[in-house]
Amino acid sequence: MSIQMTNNTTLIQGDCLVEMDKLIKEGIIVDAIICDPPYRVISGGKPKHKGQPSGLLSKNDGKIFEHNDLSEELWFPKIYKLLKNGGHCYIMTNTLNLERYLRLSREAGFGLHNLLVWEKNNCTPNRWYMKNCEYTLFLRKGRAKIINNVGSKTVHRFSNTSNKVHPSEKPIQLMEFYILNSTNEGETILDFTMGSGTTGVAAKNLKRKFIGIELDEKYFNIAKERIDNVQDE
């Protein structure tokens, strides 16, 4: 395990289930949670016919990177404990996991504010409509809190990241959109599977505190470098 701490940023390399238990034991409470956790996907395997796009598959292993097996039944209750009353939680998912995530979030104690849609500028090949969007569960703990920009729409458009350093890397602008709507300067955001650290970069850009956890040493080091390179004003 590796930990880097500055005044406003805590980066932890380790198993998020273990590390979140430590945070809970320490009495840590965060103002918002924004995370794109690993989940089952319709990808992997091989094309059915020669020359067929890689998104049209005859076999699906449900994985796009090594550390893809993380039990939602275990992490949903932990993030509920770590979030403050009245806090917002953004959890990204896909259609394959949507129903299950909704059930598990309710069982953990969350209320559903809305289902948000990120419309991308590219799409994934599919025989049942090509996929050009991703979904985010917008959850709350306790009483409802109004977002900072009440003119925001449930469908929002941000260009997908080019030259990705992580298979599921999201645009910084998307993370900043969520952060600006659900937190104020100086508040703390948790990303318990931070990948390449996009949420941390967005948090630092907007003068928020950040706690990030990542198991994979390669991506942890990438995240650390990206966040360190954000210039403090």
Please list the rounded mean pLDDT of every run of 10 residues in the chain (233 residues). Answer: 79 96 97 91 53 47 55 96 98 94 98 96 84 94 96 93 70 96 98 95 97 95 93 63
Whether 135 contacts 95, CB under 8 Å: yes
Give the pLDDT score at 39: 74
Give the pLDDT score at 184: 98
Q: Measure the N-to-C terminal CA separation of the chain; round to a whole number of Å.
A: 30
CA distance 97 to 141: 21
Q: Which two tokens stand for residue 213?
A: 């956890």
Q: Which two tokens stand for residue 49?
A: 């016919």
CA distance 115 to 152: 13
Whether 120 contacts 83, CB under 8 Å: no
Spell out the SS3 assignment of 77-117.
HHHHHHEEEEEEEEEEECHHHHHHHHHHHHHHCCEEEEEEE
- Classify the C-alpha dihedral 3-224-179-20 as positive or negative: negative
Give the pLDDT score at 60: 47
Give the pLDDT score at 58: 44
CA distance 71 to 124: 26
Give the pLDDT score at 1: 63
Give the pLDDT score at 5: 74
Q: Which two tokens stand for residue 100?
A: 């299950």
pTM over 0.75: yes
Give the pLDDT score at 140: 98
Q: Which two tokens stand for residue 3?
A: 């930990």
CA angle centred on 191, ends 167 and 95, rounded to 5°: 55
CA distance 205 to 207: 6
**How do the residues of the chain divide into helix, strand and coil, expressed in percent and rounded to 5?**
30, 30, 45
CA distance 185 to 115: 25
Whether 192 contacts 170, CB under 8 Å: no
